[in-house]
Structure 1
């Protein structure tokens, strides 16, 4: 994919770094910032990547900015890849797959049946007041950042949006990233050289060069 722009906003903590997707010495020193936009015209695919946390009390403003951008550009479908704390699952979420999805009403009518065919599991609603009232329930995504805000706003703005998330634990989340993108590929078939269930062998995905130093550069040999 090609970087085509960035989102200029004061809602995110400022940051700048080297190109995380460098493939040669020529593009290693290209700079990247906190929110960038990538595109693959052949697939009519646009990706927004956010790399820094939100400034306090600015997350809702950023969501409104994204919603406005989605509506202005008229995206046919929006997909949020997210996660939720594995340790905050309730009893019903401990069973079966660790993946969940949510669809706005604008998208439910077109892909709802497909989700059933894929045997995907919709995000369960949790009791709002445990031990007091078992009838009132709501959607909760602990650790999901702005996912729920974007989902709720997209419902009210009639944006065709889907949330695809995985329950994750702290630590090395590289396997979770592979699993989530494989799960997405079952639906969108972005990578064609996949197995019958849509999964792709790890070696077939292009791993960002920046992942080599995900946990630092290792212990200095001089220590030994």
Structure 2
């Protein structure tokens, strides 16, 4: 089953694909929003599958646009050879395996070269803090580039990786690791206002992804849709 429906003729051969897992504080989704908005990505496709809980809303990046956004979409920057999937809703547990199988087939058909899965973990599960808050899993073993920018490797326990609060990131990694280099990037966070966490993950993406290293990242801009993340102020009647 083809899940990726392209809206334009685009060759994804050799691209790096970034996929956010639904994780603690939605940090991966927030990071993808920032990447799309700050690095000039354009919507290039819609991803439909029965496993994705449907949703629809206004364009989150252009207040004057009449376009709509759906639960799962593909954004692309051709010059950077980067593509990102923005997943805005949850996945139906019983259909996840089928979704990953179908998505894997599309990734192979489009000849995508690398996959980066963004994830977040519960801060209180990080029992050893001397290694920092950033960790990774790489299908090719230890990644010196990630370690140079402050990531520590997650070591498997009894042959399995665990990220508490990381959503489907490990499961997706297991599906994709045999078709190309697949890396999970994890930040351990606490729930609350996670915008600063998303900014910090964006900053390490600019350090890690080669095509982004040549673009200055100074003042990170937030999409206008973020103005409503926490709602309005509390009603004065409470006091």
What TM-score, normalized by structure 2, do the two folds share? Answer: 0.75
Q: State how far apart, in whole Å, the 2-side matches of 1:31 and 1:193 are.
A: 29
Distance change (3 Å), C-alpha of 1:75 and 1:57? same
In structure 1, runs of 5+ residues without a counterpart are 127-135, 195-199
1:178 to 199, 202, 207: 199
Alpha-carbon contact 1:2-1:39 (below 8 Å) kept: yes
Q: State how far apart, in whole Å, the 1-side matches of 2:135 and 2:176 are.
A: 18
Once the two structures are superposed, the pairs formed by residues 63-142 of structure 1 within 5 Å of their partners are 63-89=100-126, 91-92=127-128, 94-105=129-140, 108=141, 112-126=143-157, 136-142=158-164
Alpha-carbon contact 1:104-1:158 (below 8 Å) kept: no
Determine which structure has the larger helix proportion and give its number: 1
Deviation at 1:209, TM superposition (A): 1.1
* Corresponding residue number in structure 2 for 1:144: 166
- Give the secondary-structure state (helix, strand or coil) at the position aligned to 1:75: coil
Number of residue pairs matched?
Answer: 198
What TM-score, normalized by structure 1, do the two folds share? Answer: 0.79
Q: State how far apart, in whole Å, the 1-side matches of 2:235 and 2:60 are.
A: 23
Deviation at 1:187, TM superposition (A): 1.0
* Corresponding residue number in structure 1 for 2:67: 30
* Corresponding residue number in structure 2 for 1:15: 55
In structure 2, runs of 5+ residues without a counterpart are 1-40
Q: State how far apart, in whole Å, the 2-side matches of 1:17 and 1:43 are.
A: 28
